[in-house]
């Protein structure tokens, strides 16, 4: 058995004719190599790790693992890694300089693996599973994101999930959109998807 599959499962969701998406604890020893293979591809330029070596990726995720306010998980489909989630306390991040952080806010970043073959609604299933995972925690009231203004694909997903775009902000490394999704915004968006 692959040692990665023994890592603690935090959340799972099955999709008909697709498989089971699981979110598991990050395994730095093995996962950093997978992440390195993703972040150096052109599609992942907004992740900000282009040209990173394997060692630099490992150092970056070691820092996150040692930060009690920032968390990282790996998402798998039938035990194969297909996405990475980072979630964090906005109060402990520079994003807090740009909006009024409320109790129950959680910041989110998501990186999907490069597509090997096109699967209908693949990215949406990954995104919705991530939202379900974060909102599973009753203390989470709102999810906050700050995608690069040029990242058109993520804006489409955010809007589909119910995120409301607030304003453009200048972060140290990018010009970003600040967008917020309440639990109700997300529930309404899902209901809207299901009614079509």
Residue boundaries of the structural domains of the chain = 3-194
- Asked whether residue 1 carries a pLDDT value surpassing 80, the answer given is no
Please give the average per-residue pLDDT across 87-101, as a whole number. Answer: 96
Mean pLDDT of the chain: 93
- Asked whether residue 168 carries a pLDDT value surpassing 80, the answer given is yes
pTM for the full model?
0.93
Please give the average per-residue pLDDT across 145-152, as a whole number. Answer: 95
**Greater pLDDT, 141 or 4:** 141
**Given this model, what pLDDT does residue 57 score?**
97
Query: Sorting pLDDT into bands at 50, 70 and 90, what band is 117?
Result: confident
Q: What is the DSSP letter of 160?
A: H
**Given this model, what pLDDT does residue 4 score?**
45
Residue 21's φ and ψ, nearest 5 degrees, are -95, 125
Per-residue pLDDT reduced to its tens digit, 32-90:
999 999 999 998 999 999 999 999 999 999 999 999 999 999 999 988 999 999 999 99
Please give the average per-residue pLDDT across 106-125, as a whole number. Answer: 90
Per-residue pLDDT reduced to its tens digit, 20-31:
999 999 999 999
CATH label, 3-194, candidates 1.10.10.410, 3.40.630.30, 2.40.50.140, 3.40.50.300: 3.40.630.30
- Asked whether residue 2 carries a pLDDT value surpassing 50, the answer given is no
- Asked whether residue 173 carries a pLDDT value surpassing 90, the answer given is no
**Given this model, what pLDDT does residue 6 score?**
59
CA distance 179 to 162: 10
- Asked whether residue 108 carries a pLDDT value surpassing 60, the answer given is yes
Query: Closest by alpha carbon to 143, among 185, 176, 111?
Result: 185
**Greater pLDDT, 1 or 12:** 12
Per-residue HEC secondary structure of 81-131 comes to: EEEEEEEECHHHCHHHHCCCCCCCEEEEEEEECCCCCCCCCHHHHHHHHHH
Structure tokens of 188?
């309404």
């Amino acid at each position: 058995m692959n040692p990665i599959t023994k890592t603690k499962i935090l959340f799972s969701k099955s999709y008909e004719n697709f498989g089971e998406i699981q979110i598991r604890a990050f395994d730095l020893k093995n996962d950093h190599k997978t992440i390195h293979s993703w972040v150096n591809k052109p599609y992942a330029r907004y992740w900000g790790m282009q040209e990173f070596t394997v060692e630099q990726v490992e150092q970056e995720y070691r820092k996150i693992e040692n930060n009690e306010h920032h968390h990282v998980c790996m998402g798998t489909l039938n035990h194969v890694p297909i996405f990475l989630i980072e979630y964090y306390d906005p109060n402990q991040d520079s994003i807090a300089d740009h909006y009024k952080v409320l109790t129950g806010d959680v910041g989110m970043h998501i990186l999907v693996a490069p597509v090997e073959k096109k699967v209908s609604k693949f990215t949406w299933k990954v995104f919705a599973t991530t939202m379900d995972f974060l909102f599973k925690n009753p203390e989470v009231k709102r999810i906050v994101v700050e995608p690069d203004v040029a990242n058109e694909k993520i804006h489409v997903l955010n809007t589909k999930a119910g995120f409301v775009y607030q304003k453009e902000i200048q972060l140290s490394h990018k010009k970003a959109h600040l967008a917020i999704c309440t639990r109700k915004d997300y529930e309404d968006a899902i209901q809207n998807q299901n009614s079509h």
